Chain A
Amino acid sequence: MTDAPDHRPTMAALPFADRLARAMPVLLVPILLVVGFLAIGNPSSWLTLTVSGLAMGMMIFIMASGLTLVFGLMDVINFGHGAFISVGAFVGISVVLGLAEWAQAPSLLLNLGVVLLAVLAAMAVTGLLGWAFERVIVKPVYGAHLKQILVTVGGLIVIEQLIHVIWGPDEIFFARPEMLKGAVTFWGAALEKYRLVAVVIGLVLFVAMRLVFRRTRIGLIVRAGVENGEMVEALGYRLRLVFVGVFIAGSALAGLGGVMWGLYEEVITAGMGEEMMILVFIVVIIGGLGSVEGAFIGALMVGLLQNYIAFLEPKLALISNIGLMTAILMWRPQGMMPVVKAK
């Protein structure tokens, strides 16, 4: 009997260049912040722009996270995702308008109560709608990308038109709850209160999502399902059920994003979801399909870049996102952190 062959694993650390390449996506946001600071040159305007960029990024991330997971899990690309954004905004804002007395009262508690109720109502409605959407629209066309795209676009149109039927054809203007208006001054920079709230909500959500994915069993199953669905099913988990759950959660998150975006803009239209979808798609593509972390980084970059460029060179802001997407795809054709191996 011979001894097992000598095995000497190489314990040397990866070369610096390799480690840098791996960490690059995470480093991009700080790099963008620094470059923005240098380009703008004025600390207080930089701070204002950064906060609004982060707020915008957080909201886009909330909308995009569901979409990227749904794609990762079941290879379903849902063009109707934008409809949930609009529906969420309309339901949420209806609650805010319905409780106008609470919203106008100069009490932080009542104001936050209104926003909380609006968010809960919006998420409940869009979650239910997502469930129905999955059953009626998406389920019959699993595995056929072409039909999925066509059918979900159809669903988007129908839901958008139903919003017109229910809430009327015009856009709705409204005012934010009293205590969320105005700005605080910090180091000479005016920071809108609502944007700070949005950043906080976005961060909390991201941390919570990460905890769910990294620390819980269901998170483990979802992550495993994204990476290799067949194997997870072979182990006895009903991936379909998980998928429906993720679809509902993703729709509810889109609804939440819709309410937040509506409060941010102080005007809602039935077409807003469709417009946001463009940004959401860009974020999902540059983040890498199926990657929540990638979507988070991508969303922050889109938000920051758009705000910086709008300040530095307003004409370029229109194409800054497309430019960002092109640059990222040239660097990493699969997006920054692709989870889904090409199926």
Chain B
Amino acid sequence: MMLHALISGDRPRSRILTALLLAIFLGLLFAPFLFPGVRALETAARISVFILLAASYDLLLGYTGVVSFAHTMFFGMGAYGVGLASQHMGRGYGSLIVGSLAGAALAAAFAFLIALFSLRVRAIFFAMITLAVASAVAVLVSQLSSITGGEDGFTFQIPRALGPANRMGEFMGVQITGKILNYYVVFFCSLILFLVLLRIVNSPFGRVLQAIRENDFRAEAIGYRVVRYRTIATCISAAVAALAGSLFALWLRYVGPDTTLSFELMLDLLLIVVIGGMGTIWGAVIGATLMVLAQTYLQDLMGSAAEATAAIPLLSRLLDPDRWLLWLGVLFILSVYFFPAGIVGRLRAGR
């Protein structure tokens, strides 16, 4: 009953899906104990953050049917918010909170302005305008190196308790450090925000968004102010993306254009949502987990495949780990054509 309320009554509706989700949840919850090692913890934190980021993007893409290319810009705003606050206000929890809130507020304000200009006329303007604005911001960030550290970004200090130097003894054979504490901060914040998003999409507000996605003309005719709903959804999604960015910056103790603002990140995000399943927030969980795991471990595989085929000139170039995006693009097109409902849609249909 309690669980039912927590997930807002939005059940996975498929045995396999339930099992997968439970496995991911438990895996992330006990990650420091189940998978020792720096790389595994890094991957787990990345998965937590990307689940949240993808879920917030799905609110826009899957639930509202609006394509945005500025989601990483909002993600970056949160990250730079925390980074800059920690740099200028000194290390401490205060600057973390101020930075995250400022980042989220700025992201929501930006989203509101962009929505005002583009959604008012045609929803399709939104995709083009967000692309233009996001690239302008990315250029600006790399140019204003005196504030943002330019292409290199900058590292900053977080409270000592969350750093690896803070040793708190041993538990279940694992040395508990501040790093693990930091992981749990990231994990639980992501979890709470994810549940909030789940609540939003299953509220009457979320239902209206879905109605707009299916037929905006009809939704308007029934009496819902389409532009207003779309604008609010954009702002919420931007604010949550910024918070995800803050968590990511907190985990990495570093912000830079490559980790937060790059176009590649935007593509990853699109792929996560499309492969996981648009229009269902559980899709974000599956998609993000798959994507991060694939990125971390499959690229090694491609590297060895390229070495194995080094004799065949073109094939080895196609399999080069740097050409990872090529296969991602092919996969992306194929999944839009053949699995528009994504993995979650497939699992639910095959129940």
Chain A residues close to B by CB (< 8 Å): 77, 79, 137, 140-141, 145-147, 149-151, 153-158, 160-162, 164-165, 169, 274-275, 277-278, 281-282, 284-285, 289, 318-319, 321-322, 325-326, 329-330, 333-334, 342
Contact = CB atoms under 8 A, between A and B. Distances in A.
A334 B120 CA distance: 10
Contact of B336 (A154, A274, A318): A154
A316 to B, nearest CB: 11
Interface stretch (B121-129, B178-186, B231-239): B121-129
Residue with the greatest number of chain B CB neighbours at <10 A, chosen from A151, A277, A278: A278
Given A154-B330, A157-B329, A281-B131, 18 more contacts: A149-B67, A156-B329, A158-B329, A161-B323, A161-B325, A164-B322, A165-B314, A169-B322, A275-B135, A278-B131, A285-B129, A285-B132, A318-B136, A318-B139, A321-B132, A322-B136, A333-B121, A334-B121
Residue with the greatest number of chain B CB neighbours at <10 A, chosen from A156, A160, A275, A285: A285
Contacts of B314: 165
Interface in B133-183: 133, 135-136, 139-140, 143
B326 A162 contact: yes
A147 B340 contact: yes
Interface of B: 61, 65, 67, 117-118, 120-125, 127-129, 131-133, 135-136, 139-140, 143, 263, 267, 270, 274, 314, 317-318, 322-323, 325-326, 328-330, 332-333, 336-337, 340
Given A77-B124, A285-B128, A150 B332 contact: yes
Nearest to B62: A146
Contacts of A325: 129, 132
A289 B123 CA distance: 13
A192 to B, nearest CB: 25
Contacts of A319: 136, 140
A150 B274 CA distance: 9
B323 A322 contact: no
Contact of A321 (B125, B136, B325): B136
B267 to A, nearest CB: 6
Contacts of A140: 337
28 contacts: A137-B333, A145-B123, A146-B61, A150-B270, A150-B332, A151-B336, A154-B329, A154-B333, A154-B336, A155-B333, A156-B329, A157-B329, A157-B332, A158-B330, A161-B326, A165-B317, A165-B323, A285-B125, A285-B132, A289-B122, A318-B139, A318-B140, A319-B136, A321-B132, A325-B129, A325-B132, A326-B117, A330-B117
Contacts, number: 105
A329 to B, nearest CB: 5
A140 B333 CA distance: 11
A158 B65 CA distance: 24
A342 B314 CA distance: 47
A77 B139 CA distance: 25
Given A165-B323, A165-B326, A281-B128, A151 B139 contact: no
Residue with the greatest number of chain A CB neighbours at <10 A, chosen from B118, B135, B318, B328: B135
B343 to A, nearest CB: 16
Contact of A329 (B61, B67, B117, B267): B117
A154 B275 CA distance: 13
A234 to B, nearest CB: 23
A284 B129 CA distance: 11
- In the A-B complex, the 7 residue pairs with the closest CB atoms: A161-B326, A157-B329, A154-B333, A158-B329, A154-B332, A281-B128, A333-B121
Nearest to B266: A153
A155 B136 CA distance: 23
Contacts of B328: 157
B67 A157 contact: no
B73 to A, nearest CB: 12
Does more than half of chain A's interface fall in helix, strand or loop, or is it mixed?
A: helix
Contacts of B140: 318-319
Contacts of A282: 132
Contacts of A334: 121
A327 B111 CA distance: 18
A281 B132 contact: yes
A141 B133 CA distance: 27
Contacts of A161: 323, 325-326, 329
A150 B62 CA distance: 12
A277 B128 CA distance: 10
Contact of B132 (A137, A155, A169, A278): A278
A154 B267 CA distance: 9
A77 B127 contact: yes
A318 B337 CA distance: 37
Nearest to A285: B128
Contacts of A330: 117
A160 B117 CA distance: 31
Contacts of A146: 61, 65, 67
A110 B65 CA distance: 54
Contacts of B131: 277-278, 281
A142 B318 CA distance: 31
Nearest to B143: A318
Contacts of A318: 136, 139-140, 143
Nearest to B324: A161
Residue with the greatest number of chain B CB neighbours at <10 A, chosen from A149, A155, A284, A334: A149
Nearest to A159: B329
B325 A150 contact: no
A158 B340 CA distance: 19
A277 B125 CA distance: 14
Nearest to A162: B326
B117 to A, nearest CB: 5
Residue with the greatest number of chain A CB neighbours at <10 A, chosen from B123, B135, B329: B329
A141 B336 CA distance: 10
B330 A278 contact: no
B318 to A, nearest CB: 6
Contact of B133 (A149, A155, A322): A322
